[in-house]
Every structure is written in C-alpha cells, then in structure tokens.
Amino acid sequence: MAYYVYIIQCANNHFYTGWSTDPLRRLKQHNAGKGSRYTRVYGPCELVYAEEVADMSCALKREFRVKKLTHPQKHRLIANEQLNCLVRLIGTADSLPPPE
C-alpha cells in the first residue's frame, strides 16, 4: 500500500499538510467538510503537492517535517515538485516519435 504526504492550499492561501493512502479522496473529504476543522473553516482547498513515501511511519515523520517548514519553504517545495513534473513530461514527450 502506498502512503503519501500532501499539501493542500486553502481559500485563504494558507497550506494544510497531512498524510493519506489516497490524497485525492482525502481532498474530497476536506472539501466536503469531513476533513480537519481548519479546512472546514478555510475551504475550499486545492491539492498542490503529494509525495509518495515508503510506509506509514515514513509518512508521519515526513508530515511532521513538512509542517515545520515556513510558508516560503513550502512554496519552494511545491515549485520544485511542479518543475520536476514538467521535466518528466517533457522527457516523455521527447521520447515519442514525431507525428506524421
């Protein structure tokens, strides 16, 4: 089973960090008012970061470390992940044959 640490951005532009086995399902719970008290008050929310970790213990430890980051540090973490996703997409696109 995969575990994830995720960051969602609330309507007030603050970040909420948590862990889950299914970040998209968890986001739906947060937006339905069945997540944390914070996201009930400051929702709706948008998933901006998800990181797969080895197991539940790693998820709890990583969540704790991410929660300790400052707001600018979380912005950099999110930006780096988005850049990595873009690089992976470009790399995948470059490996495709050209259209005919």
Collapsing DSSP states into helix, strand and coil, what is residue 92?
helix
pLDDT, tens digit (0-9, with 9 covering 90-100), for 74-100: 998 998 877 766 666 666 555 545 555
Where do the DSSP E strands lie in 22-70?
45-53
Q: What is the dihedral of CA 57, 58, 61, 64, to 10 degrees?
A: -110
Residues 6+ apart with CB under 8 A from 97: none
Arithmetic mean of pLDDT, 3-26: 93
Residue 72 has pLDDT above 90, yes or no: yes
Residue 59 has pLDDT above 70, yes or no: yes
pTM recorded for the entire structure: 0.81
The mean of the pLDDT values for the chain is 85
Q: Which two tokens stand for residue 11?
A: 């309507």
Q: Which two tokens stand for residue 37?
A: 């008290």
Extents of the domains making up the chain: 3-95
Half-sphere exposure of 81 (CA within 13 A, CB side): 15
Q: Which CATH class is domain 3-95?
A: alpha beta
